[in-house]
Every structure is written in structure tokens, then in C-alpha cells.
Structure 1
Amino acid sequence: MEGDGGSKLENAMMEEYGDEPHVLAVDDNLIDRKLVERLLKNSSCKVTTAENGLRALEYLGLGDENKATLEDRVSKVNLIITDYCMPGMTGYELLKKIKESSILKEVPVVIMSSENIPTRINKCLEEGAQKFMLKPLKQSDVVELRCNLMKCRS
């Protein structure tokens, strides 16, 4: 399922990122995190992983008063892909924090979940998620996602 923000996905990367977009992958499950990392790397993406929403926010510099560091990190992250169900902070809560940030709000966020719950999907899309993908992710999902990001035609 896709949100209405496909143009943001398509426009987010082209100018400064070359052929290797940088994706922050967030998942509390090590196996799922490694799978997403492998699929993204197979699609020529640079990948940084985080095991939960709080670590992702740390990496992104949210909560850190150093704006230069935040701007530097944001300029290097083209996409955030996060699991919905995580302890401490759900993917939905992470999405809300990102969209509330004046510097991060334009970074596309993709939510993934093993549960196909329409109300949950709609809530995420309404809050600004670019896409909601069902787990387990497949290479074809990541290829499509990367093509959207890089404006390639498949």
C-alpha cells in the first residue's frame, strides 16, 4: 500500500546522493534487521541499522542540541525504514517524532509490519509514512522501493 507522497519518494534522492542512497533500517528483531540490511545492500544502498526507535533518534540527532551534527546526519540519510511493532517506541511513534522535526520531516519513512491491519496502515499513512510494507520483505519489494527513490523505471 502506498501513501499519496510518492513524489517525495521520487524526488528525495537524485541530486546529491548519486547511485547509493543511505537508508536507516530500524527493527528490534536481529534476524529481520539483518534481512532488511541484506536486501537493501543487494540493491546498492548504504545501510545503517538501529535496534529500536530510541537508537534511531540518537543516530538522527533528535534530542541532541548540536544542530550542525543533526544537519550533517540528515543530509546523509535518504530514507528511514522501520518496523511497526517494537518495544519502548513503536514505528508509528518514531514516524511522528521524525515528522515533527523541522529538519527531518522531509525524509521519507517506510513502515513495515507482519500484521496487515488496515486501521494501523491508514494511521501511519495519515501521519506521513510514504509507504506501508508487509513483512517479510522480499528483494522485489526493496528493488521497487529503491527504484521509486532513484527514479528508475522497471
Structure 2
Amino acid sequence: MNKKVLIIDDSAVFRKIISVHLRNAKFDLIEAGDGIEGLQQLANNSIDLIVSDMNMPNMDGISFIKKVKEDPKFKFIPIIMLTTESQPEKKQMGLDAGAKAWLTKPFSPEELIETISKLMV
């Protein structure tokens, strides 16, 4: 059975780009347009890893991570931040909130797949 990845990004185009690469790498995917949708998908699906943007409407990536890490059912799911934010203080905020990795857009599909594979050991 393939591992299931939840992709959270407010750009439908960007979600599709990520989806193509991850499907080619044999991952199953679920998509959400913001942190609130992400929490709903998490509650309704068995998720192995989350890839989340930082800047989104309704609930940003940092707030999303904090909510996930507060819940005993989900707190051990690895989260990768994939965002345009590259400032060290933003990255530290994400890591402090519970992200396991931080990648910046534009991203290398190979780097994303490698990072996911390392976190799903």
C-alpha cells in the first residue's frame, strides 16, 4: 500500500505540480486549500505525511502545525513546510512549531521526494 501525503497550499496549480511529482514517486495524495481544510482532511483520512505552505488564507501553515501537534492522534505525523518564505526567523518559527523540514519554492522535485522518503522511515 502506498503512503498517503496531504498537500496543503492555497494555489491549486501548485498543488497539482506537487501531485504530479509525488504520484510518479508512488505516493497517494489528498489535497487541501488551507489549514482548516487540512485539518478536515486529516480527521477524515489516514495520513502518513503532510506538505504545507506557510502563507494561506483562513489558517496559515504555522497555525496549522500547532493544531496538528496539539492533537495526540496526529502529533507524530511528519510535516514539511514548502513555502516561498526563506528568512531564517520564519524557518525557525516553523521548526519550533513542529515542522520536520523546510523547503523553499521554487523547489526541486527530487529534493522534495528525498525529504519525504527520509521522514517516512
TM-score, normalization: structure 2?
0.92
* Equivalence for 2:7: 25
Which protein has greater RCO, CA pairs closer than 8 Å, 6+ apart? 1
| In structure 2, C-alpha distance between the alignment counterparts of 1:60 and 1:115, rounded to whole Å | 24
1:55 maps to 2:37: yes
1:85 maps to 2:55: yes
Paired letter, 2:28: K
Assess if the C-alpha contact under 8 Å between 2:49 and 2:120 holds in 1: no
How is 1:88-99 mapped onto 2 (pairs within 5 angstroms)? Answer: 88-99=58-69
| In structure 2, C-alpha distance between the alignment counterparts of 1:77 and 1:110, rounded to whole Å | 13
| In structure 2, C-alpha distance between the alignment counterparts of 1:150 and 1:60, rounded to whole Å | 17
Relative distance call for 1:57 and 1:22 in structure 2 (3 A) is same
Name stretches of at least 5 consecutive residues in structure 2 with no aligned partner. none
Assess if the C-alpha contact under 8 Å between 2:36 and 2:59 holds in 1: yes
What fraction of aligned residue pairs are identical, expressed as a percent?
A: 29
User: Which consecutive segments of 4 or more residues in structure 1 shift more than 4 A?
Assistant: none
| In structure 2, C-alpha distance between the alignment counterparts of 1:101 and 1:26, rounded to whole Å | 18
Name stretches of at least 5 consecutive residues in structure 1 with no aligned partner. 1-17, 62-69
1:45 maps to 2:15: no
| Greater radius of gyration (CA) | 1
